């Protein structure tokens, strides 16, 4: 069995697994009064259709023996991968820190850190980053917290 389109194969498996999880979870849905088809009709319909389509995708990904893998993604070069992963981790850390540290400090730190990560690492650039970060943070803070009375974390 020659799997031509690896990504499609994986995707369909993931989808099927997801449907499995949801099927499991749907047992927890309490029907109550079964009114107008009940809360389970639509989800089951959708799950059925998704499962069907995933199966078709699965079969197709296996069947196309001779076609070259076109839909798959080219693994980006290592440098880009590193940047992507780093940015994602940094952003996750930022979001984690937000409720704890408050909006202004966290955003400022994040902006400087991210810009340093992605851009030039010279002292002059650092200063520019700092200024931009400051303006951004204060600007947003002002508009939202003071003008619109929105509560930021």
Partner 1 sequence: MLKRLFTVLLAVFLAVPAFAETWPEKPVQVVVPWNPGGSSDISARIVGDKIRKFLPKPFVISNITGALGLNGARQVLKARPDGYTLLWEHPGNLAVASMVTRANFSWRDFDALCTVVSSDMAMLVPKNSPFKDARAVFDYIKKNPGKLRWSLSLNGVSHFAYLAMCKSLGQLDAKLIPTSGDKDRVVSLLSGTSDVTCVSYAAARPYVESGDLRLLALVNSKRSDLAPDVPTLKEQGIDAAYDYRCSVFTGKNTPDNVKAILIDALKKTLEDPETIEALKAQMFHPDFQDTAATIRNWEQDEALYRTLATEYKLLK
Partner 2 sequence: MFLDLTGSSFVFEPLTLVVMLAGVFGGLVIGAIPGLTSTMAVALLVPVTYGMEAHLGLALLVAVYMGSISGGLVAASLLNIPGTPSSVATTFDAYPMTKRGEGGKALAYGVIASFLGSMLGFVALLLLAPVLGKFALRFGPYEYFALVVFTLTCIVSISRKSLLKGAISALLGLFLAMVGLSEIDGIPRFVFGTDWLQSGFSVMPVLIGMFAVSQLLEDLSGLGKPLAVMKADFSLKEFWQVGLRFRYSLWNLLRSSLIGIGIGILPGTGSGLSNILAYAQAKNSAKNPDSFGTGNPDGIIASESSNNAATGGALIPLLTLGIPGDATTLMMIGAFMIHGVQPGPLLMRDHGDLVAVIIIAYLVSNFFMLFLQINFIKVMIKALKVPQSVLCPVIITLCVVGSYALNSSMTDVWVFFGMGIVGYGLVKTGFPLLPLVLGLILGRMAESQFRAAYSLGGDSLAGFLDRPIALFFFAVAALSLGLSLYSAAKRRA
Q: Under the rule (CB under 8 A), what is the footprint of partner 2?
A: 7-8, 10-11, 15, 22, 25-26, 28-33, 35-37, 39, 41-43, 46-47, 49-50, 53-54, 56-57, 60, 71-73, 76, 80, 83-84, 87-88, 91-92, 94-95, 98-99, 103, 107, 110-111, 114-115, 117-120, 129, 132, 136-137, 140, 144, 147-153
Q: Are 86 and 117 in contact (CB under 8 A)?
A: yes
Q: Is 3 or 60 the residue whose CB approaches partner 2 more closely?
A: 60
**Is the Cα torsion angle 110, 115, 118, 121 positive or negative in sign?**
negative
What are the CA-CA distances from residue 58 to residues 20, 41, 47, 66, 114 (Å)? 16, 26, 16, 16, 39
Residues 26-85 that bind partner 1 (CB under 8 A): 30, 32-33, 35-36
Q: At how many degrees (to 10) do helices 78-101 and 103-118 cross?
A: 170
Q: Is 1 or 87 the residue whose CB approaches partner 2 more closely?
A: 87
Alpha carbon distance 90, 94 (integer Å)? 6
Q: Is 39 helix (H, G, I), strand (E, B) or coil?
A: coil
**Of partner 1, partner 2, none, which one does residue 101 interact with (CB within 5 to 8 Å by kind)?**
partner 1
**Of partner 2, partner 1, none, which one does residue 147 interact with (CB within 5 to 8 Å by kind)?**
partner 2
C-beta neighbour count of 31 within 10 angstroms:
9
Residues that bind partner 1 (CB under 8 A): 30, 32-33, 35-36, 100-102, 105, 149, 151
């Amino acid at each position: 069995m020659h799997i031509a389109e690896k990504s499609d194969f994986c995707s369909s498996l993931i989808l099927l697994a997801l449907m499995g999880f949801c099927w499991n979870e749907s047992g927890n849905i309490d029907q109550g009064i079964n009114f107008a088809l009940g809360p389970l009709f639509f989800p089951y319909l959708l799950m059925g259709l998704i499962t069907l389509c995933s199966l078709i995708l699965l079969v197709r990904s296996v069947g196309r023996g001779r076609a070259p893998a076109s839909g798959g993604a080219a693994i980006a070069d290592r440098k880009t991968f590193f940047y992507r992963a780093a940015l994602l981790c940094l952003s996750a850390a930022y979001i984690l820190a937000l409720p704890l540290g408050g909006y202004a400090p966290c955003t400022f730190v994040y902006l400087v850190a991210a810009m340093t990560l992605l851009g030039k690492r010279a002292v002059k650039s650092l200063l520019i980053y700092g200024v931009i970060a400051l303006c951004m943070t204060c600007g947003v803070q002002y508009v939202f917290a003071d003008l619109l009375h929105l509560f930021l974390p």
